[in-house]
Structure 1
Amino acid sequence: MAFLEPLQNERKMNRKITLIPALLLSVLSFGQQNKIQELSSPEGKNKIVFQLENERPKYSVSHGATEVITPSEMGFVFKNNDSLNKNFKVTNVVRNTVDNTWEQVWGEKQKIRNNYNELVVDLQEKKGKKRKLQIQFRAYDDGVAFRYVFPKQGIKDSIFIMDELTTFDLKHDGKAWWIPAYHEQRYENLYEASPVSTLDTVHTPLTIESDSGLALSFHEANLTDFASTTLYPVSGTKLKTDLVPWSDGVKVRTVDSFTTPWRTIQIAEEPKDLITSYLILNLNEPNKIEDTSWIEPYKYIGIWWGMHIGKYTFWEGPNHGASTKNAKEHIDYAKQLGIDNLLIEGWNKGWTPEWYQNHMHMFDFTTSTDDFDLEEVTEYGAKNGVRIVGYHETGSNIDNYLKQVDSAFALYNKVGVRSVKIGHVGSMLNMKEWHHGQFGVNYFRYILKKAADYKLTVYFHEPIKDTGERRTYPNMMAREGGRGIEYNAWSEGNPPGHTAILPFTRFLAGPMDFTAGILDVENKQGYPGRRVHSTSSKQLALLVVVYSPVQMLADLPENYVGKPEFKFLKDVPVNWQDTQVLNGSIGEFVTIVRKDIDSDDWYLGSLTNEEARDLEIELDFLDAGATYEAQIYADAEGTGYKTNSTEVEISTKEVTSEDKLTLKLGESGGTAIRFKKL
């Protein structure tokens, strides 16, 4: 596992950088150090309380007068049942305030304010090994976070973390929206809603509509060289951290020291306000790529949907999707449609009809299939103003991929490919380790950094979850990490409410390559009885609701030709100056507006579950005193996901910031609007 070493070295450097500012801050007197420590957010919305209770560290969280987390456990268990959670004294307390604004290379919001108050508590065991442990707390107005730092202290042996004892003792029960943590489909499951007290072991983000009236989201930030966290109910409403293990049961392997990811709780008065919380991004390291000129958001088409509906195959044969002939035809479509990127999957040797099954598949990442010429296709694309998006399917055979990754990335550099999709189909990496254990965390970070060395942007499928690393490495464009639209092609499909759940759950982690934009929702050319459970207008709306700097217009390209509604798909940007959420209810509906970073135009996406509904919205997000042309793409009268689902009504209307609009959404329908400033 040589790929782990540079990541461990980087972690050690980051830890030193983190601790240096503490030396510059005022230190409290010893008498104060042993008192209860309180930390409030800048506007006093959220408060953290830390204390030693019987020499054990505990924390609690409140929002205004509402208790959120009652005193909860902290600490670790190492190998041989060696606990680090008791017999502590406080040796130092440091406070700090930070208020700055930073700019994303790309994103759903260009400028992000990072404003928090910080409390750093140094602990040491009073007897025995007298080990040290530092706990860092940060209080934001949109949530709270904390992490552990186990500093270098002369330990020569390897450190094996067997358990993290962190709990979240919720004061109130509530409705939790969750997917199971230890399932062979990883994150690709439909969300269930149930009381916190009845949960399975679940992935994060875990979103809870608390009985207190608050909306909560539990996640983690800056997941580096550590196991990802899952949560399970110990008893009642007490949730405990469950680190994803290695195959031998060890949770985390390290040497000398370690720094955990931030454990995060986003707190909002309404669920819709969770969507515009940037706490996760703020807790990550600043951008480490000095020259970002090669990092560009984009839209793309592909042969992907054709493979999923059975028109093409991934493997060689009479219907092979990635043939030179078919690739050139798709380049012609891309040029005709005005979309300048094309994804080609299955162009390399190693694909078989069993490629998706658990097996150590031996893909060759530099040798084209017999019916495909990579250089000829990329040259043809360049002549027609269309870039090819590369694809590597590892089949979760990580050993095989790591042996070839340099030569594979070098080949893409040679032929002008600037972005690559990397898949990891398989229940386990190397048929042995969880995608979201420490092995997987380090592997994905290694590939991300390797891609940056070759100036390649990437988006992962079957990935580790997003914890905000796109701030540090903005060549990390997007990832799957959720149940996408392809399930509609060959399974019972995603129910209408699925896309009304994702903005409040999966999308809180970061951009998703959801692959929307299917106009032929009836799937006339696909498998009998399979269809997309939405209207075509809802598919347009998803290009606004689903944030990603790389957006696939996933339908067969011929289904876009001559369709007036395609204009919205072509117009809608993938990089934004601002984002606002106008309304929303988890699993029911949501309306999001975003402002184009390159113009004064705003775009709106609104969608609903299986219930038709009318939503009245105010247009006060528009510039005061200005007039806009609202280009409206809506469900036609009588349209729903079961009837007339492809009918889109297009209209225009002049509006100002003082106006209101009523959006009429059909069953599993939607509305998409471009507000063009006149």
Structure 2
Amino acid sequence: MKFIFSLVFLLAMGYINSQSVQSPSKAITVNFKLSENGNPNYTISYKNKPVILESFLGLKLKSGIDLTSNFAIDSFGVNTFNEIWQPVLGEQKNIKNHYNQLTIALSQTKDNVKINIIFRVFDEGVAFRYDFPKQQNLNYFIISDEASEFNIVGNHKVFWLPGDFDTNEYNYEETLFSEINTDKVNLNNGIGFKAINKKYMVQTPLMMKSLEGIYLNIFEAAVVNYPVMQLDVDTKNYKLKSSLAPNALGDKAYLQTPCVSPWRTIMISDDARDIVGSKMILNLNEPSKIDDTSWIKPMKYVGVWWEMHVGKSTWDYAGSQNAQNALDKELKPSGKHGATTANTKRYIDFAAKHGFDGVLVEGWNVGWEDWFGNWKENVFDFLTPYPDFNLKEVNDYAKLKGIKMIMHSETSGSVANFERHLDRSLNLMKEYGYTAAKTGYVGRIIPRGEFHDGQTMVNHYNFIAQRFADYKMMVNSHESSRPTGYSRTYPNYIAAEATRGTEFNAWSIGNLPSHETVLPFTRSLGGPIDYTPGIFEIKMSYYDASKKEQVHTTLAKQLALYVTLYSPLQMAADLPENYEKYPDAFQFIKDVATDWDESKYLEAEPGDYLTIARKAKGTEKWFLGAITDENSRKTEIKLDFLTPNKKYKATIYQDGKTADWQKNPINYEIKSLLVTSKTKLKLVLAAGGGTAISFFPIN
């Protein structure tokens, strides 16, 4: 049900130069005004305390039109909007979308250009965007710069990634605002392609905490036909300004009126749980454009993937040392190829035996011998399998076992090549019964000169979701720009990586133990994350005694990630034989749901810890995940989220008494208890550890 109330006020030009709007709870207030020079600006207060100081707004156009000053207010309108909507897949069955909106219609007197600035104020934060109406003096135009500012009140603690228009696969830095400096970032971090070109630029979402305990998060929503926003940093004056990825010509965005910018968002609360549980980014996106969503289903999957990262097998068939022979079509097997018909059948058997939905296969198609780092136009055709991978045989076998296959389409950054082959690739998937695909964007982008975060690539990622929807296919993107809620509009965009994922632990310095405690406050705000958890053999020395790399968690924390990192597409990423060695722990992965009716955020502190309980869709089953950083932790959890007067069997998967992410990561214990909504549970989390709990009702 929706409730909308509107008021519009027409003004004599220049008569009123300021206006305010509050959140429904009145805790957040936005003040908008024009300066004496007609510069639009805003301030934000939270519970009567300033959180964003005077911050200027506007854009600059390549034509020379400067939309940062010389404005007058034509009118302003105030709206109230309140609705409850249901996502196709999600953390909540029902999502509340309640805000007060202020729309300021501006005329720029110098160039006679009209622009609207729209503010939406939710109980959890503020969003604003630029709206260009159809007008005589502005039709086609080019954005050369966006001047949106976010001026904070002090030297907050900040969780940041270095500004990089080509990758977000970094560990989070945790410093004071004044200490932001990309020169201090460890670049020996396993990232193959990085493009840090500013000393003081960070990525969004940017998570902060003030000395007074106010949590702030600066992000964006509904990035459509526009570049991703990063932030230039003034460390001395605590100021941030939008920074957009340019194209090969240095232009930021090509637009035509009528059009809108993405929403710029500022989440605010004195309770970290409000940030991690916010659905504000989703609410700022358009409703689903897919009429029939019955084919969009959550999936739990396994796949031919981790074995390549740990060195057991390879993506390529002939071996990279034989790349030239492979290019000449003289394919001679190296003997280490992972994506064989026989090996894939083994994964299908494992998936069917343990109740999984799908199997992903990477390295099935020709081209992997010469794919990495050569900036080639044509690497893959997305159609031709290697000689030892029989598409029909594999898919007939999967169908017999009731398993869905997940296609893998690595573009090697050659996006133009992928788009040329896209419909043929989708037809191939439909022919062989695939219901989903994983896309990859490793490498520098072709068309050359484009960035992963530029307007061209944003349009590509969104187009892929739309085109897959035409074929009733789901898509999971890796190495893309981070999502900004577009999965509400195209819910077949079932997940994305867009972060430093699990694989970095296998062959680099890895992910910090705090990494997964920051992701829910940053990356996860924009949509489901394909993080590929569930690694049981933690240390890579298991595969090669000379290796020192490892996953920077305990085994129990790997289980808890299935709850704390939301995704309707969840992978059991380890090898089948490793799960078979620990069947009691594996049971949690088999049991845990992927789609939810309710989510309760019980404890939260970015960079330190997180505890979430979720109710499985259409059932009375609950699952809880608790994780910590490099520090051990003790806590007590109330189970008042359980249905009153009902008994549950709680199966607790916890760190063992000697567990430690470095010294003894596989040490775990499992115990069962009878509990009710009045029960309190004491949890003990090891350093880098976690706890996972299933609550099954007793009838």
Settle same-fold status: TM greater than 0.5: yes
8 A contact 2:206–2:219 mirrored in 1: yes
Q: Residues 276-328 of structure 1, C-alpha deviation per residue, up to 9 Å, x if partnerless?
A: 11110000001110000110011100110001011111111311111111111
User: Which of 26, 30, 35 is equivalent to 2:7?
Assistant: 26
Deviation at 1:197, TM superposition (A): 3.3
Q: Residues 61-99 of structure 1, C-alpha deviation per residue, up to 9 Å, x if partnerless?
A: 111111011121111111154311211111111111111
Where does residue 515 of structure 2 map in the other structure? 498
Tell me the C-alpha RMSD between the 2 structures: 1.8
Where does residue 82 of structure 2 map in the other structure? 99
For the residue of structure 2 that corresponds to 1:440, the secondary structure is: helix
For the residue of structure 2 that corresponds to 1:383, the secondary structure is: helix
Would you say 1:326 and 2:343 are equivalent positions? yes
Deviation at 1:639, TM superposition (A): 1.3
User: Which of 508, 511, 517 is equivalent to 2:534?
Assistant: 517
Where does residue 568 of structure 2 map in the other structure? 549
Q: Residues 32-53 of structure 1, C-alpha deviation per residue, up to 9 Å, x if partnerless?
A: 9614211001110111111111
Separation (CA, whole Å) in 2 of partners of 1:609 and 1:356: 34
Q: In the superposition, relative to structure 1, how do residues 155 and 89 fare at CA in structure 2: closer, same or farther (>3 Å)?
A: closer
For the residue of structure 2 that corresponds to 1:239, the secondary structure is: strand
Q: In the superposition, relative to structure 1, how do residues 652 and 477 fare at CA in structure 2: closer, same or farther (>3 Å)?
A: same
Partner AA of 1:83 in structure 2? D
Where does residue 228 of structure 1 map in the other structure? 228
Partner AA of 1:194 in structure 2? T
Separation (CA, whole Å) in 2 of partners of 1:520 and 1:557: 11
Separation (CA, whole Å) in 2 of partners of 1:198 and 1:248: 33
How many residue pairs end up in the alignment? Answer: 655
8 A contact 2:222–2:486 mirrored in 1: yes
8 A contact 1:96–1:118 mirrored in 2: yes
- Aligned residue runs from structure 1 range 37-436, under 5 A: 37-54=19-36, 55-126=38-109, 128-155=110-137, 158-182=140-164, 184=166, 186-199=167-180, 200-234=200-234, 235-316=236-317, 317-352=334-369, 354-355=371-372, 358-436=375-453
8 A contact 2:65–2:111 mirrored in 1: no
Separation (CA, whole Å) in 2 of partners of 1:353 and 1:308: 17
Percent of residue pairs identical:
39
8 A contact 2:370–2:379 mirrored in 1: no
For the residue of structure 2 that corresponds to 1:245, the secondary structure is: coil
For the residue of structure 2 that corresponds to 1:69, the secondary structure is: strand
8 A contact 1:28–1:92 mirrored in 2: yes
Partner AA of 2:533 in structure 1? A
Q: Which runs of 5+ in 2 are unaligned?
A: 181-199, 318-333
Q: In the superposition, relative to structure 1, how do residues 26 and 496 fare at CA in structure 2: closer, same or farther (>3 Å)?
A: closer
Deviation at 1:348, TM superposition (A): 1.1
Separation (CA, whole Å) in 2 of partners of 1:430 and 1:29: 47
Would you say 1:673 and 2:670 are equivalent positions? no
Q: Residues 453-502 of structure 1, C-alpha deviation per residue, up to 9 Å, x if partnerless?
A: 01110010001211001000000111011111101111121121212222
Partner AA of 2:543 in structure 1? Q
Where does residue 330 of structure 2 map in the other structure? none
Partner AA of 2:135 in structure 1? Q
Where does residue 536 of structure 1 map in the other structure? 555
Separation (CA, whole Å) in 1 of partners of 2:300 and 2:373: 26
Separation (CA, whole Å) in 1 of partners of 2:262 and 2:442: 26
User: Which of 615, 636, 642 is equivalent to 2:656?
Assistant: 636
Q: In the superposition, relative to structure 1, how do residues 395 and 411 fare at CA in structure 2: closer, same or farther (>3 Å)?
A: same
In the superposition, the TM-score normalised over structure 2's length comes to 0.91
8 A contact 1:425–1:462 mirrored in 2: yes
Separation (CA, whole Å) in 1 of partners of 2:559 and 2:91: 18
Q: Residues 112-166 of structure 1, C-alpha deviation per residue, up to 9 Å, x if partnerless?
A: 001001111100022x321101011111000010100112212476311110111
Separation (CA, whole Å) in 2 of partners of 1:572 and 1:550: 12
8 A contact 2:650–2:695 mirrored in 1: yes
Partner AA of 1:87 in structure 2? N
Q: In the superposition, relative to structure 1, how do residues 554 and 534 fare at CA in structure 2: closer, same or farther (>3 Å)?
A: same
For the residue of structure 1 that corresponds to 2:417, the secondary structure is: helix
Partner AA of 1:525 in structure 2? Y
Separation (CA, whole Å) in 2 of partners of 1:429 and 1:217: 33
Separation (CA, whole Å) in 1 of partners of 2:694 and 2:644: 17
Deviation at 1:254, TM superposition (A): 1.9
Would you say 1:449 and 2:466 are equivalent positions? yes
8 A contact 1:360–1:431 mirrored in 2: no
Partner AA of 1:202 in structure 2? V
For the residue of structure 1 that corresponds to 2:438, the secondary structure is: strand
Where does residue 326 of structure 2 map in the other structure? none
8 A contact 1:154–1:256 mirrored in 2: no
8 A contact 2:641–2:677 mirrored in 1: yes
Separation (CA, whole Å) in 1 of partners of 2:357 and 2:259: 44
Partner AA of 1:417 in structure 2? Y
Where does residue 641 of structure 2 map in the other structure? 621
Separation (CA, whole Å) in 2 of partners of 1:429 and 1:230: 22
Separation (CA, whole Å) in 2 of partners of 1:531 and 1:112: 39
For the residue of structure 2 that corresponds to 1:202, the secondary structure is: strand
Where does residue 320 of structure 2 map in the other structure? none
User: Which of 545, 548, 558 is equivalent to 2:577?
Assistant: 558
Partner AA of 2:565 in structure 1? V
Where does residue 665 of structure 2 map in the other structure? 645
Where does residue 195 of structure 2 map in the other structure? none
Separation (CA, whole Å) in 2 of partners of 1:404 and 1:354: 17
8 A contact 1:66–1:212 mirrored in 2: no
Separation (CA, whole Å) in 1 of partners of 2:575 and 2:48: 54
Where does residue 630 of structure 2 map in the other structure? 610
Q: In the superposition, relative to structure 1, how do residues 166 and 51 fare at CA in structure 2: closer, same or farther (>3 Å)?
A: same
Q: Which runs of 5+ in 1 are unaligned?
A: 1-20
Where does residue 610 of structure 2 map in the other structure? 590
Deviation at 1:270, TM superposition (A): 2.2
Separation (CA, whole Å) in 1 of partners of 2:416 and 2:371: 19
8 A contact 2:371–2:379 mirrored in 1: no
Separation (CA, whole Å) in 1 of partners of 2:103 and 2:394: 56
For the residue of structure 2 that corresponds to 1:485, the secondary structure is: coil
In the superposition, the TM-score normalised over structure 1's length comes to 0.94
Separation (CA, whole Å) in 1 of partners of 2:535 and 2:373: 24
Of 225-234 and 30-39, more deviation after overlay is shown by: 30-39
Partner AA of 1:595 in structure 2? K
Q: In the superposition, relative to structure 1, how do residues 47 and 156 fare at CA in structure 2: closer, same or farther (>3 Å)?
A: closer
Deviation at 1:584, TM superposition (A): 2.2
Separation (CA, whole Å) in 2 of partners of 1:264 and 1:156: 27
8 A contact 1:209–1:271 mirrored in 2: no
Where does residue 14 of structure 1 map in the other structure? none
8 A contact 1:482–1:506 mirrored in 2: yes
Runs of 4+ in 1 over 4 A off after TM superposition: none
Q: In the superposition, relative to structure 1, how do residues 648 and 358 fare at CA in structure 2: closer, same or farther (>3 Å)?
A: farther
Separation (CA, whole Å) in 1 of partners of 2:248 and 2:155: 34
Partner AA of 2:208 in structure 1? I
Where does residue 16 of structure 1 map in the other structure? none
Separation (CA, whole Å) in 1 of partners of 2:489 and 2:276: 21
Partner AA of 1:208 in structure 2? M
For the residue of structure 1 that corresponds to 2:368, the secondary structure is: coil
For the residue of structure 2 that corresponds to 1:564, the secondary structure is: helix
Partner AA of 2:577 in structure 1? E
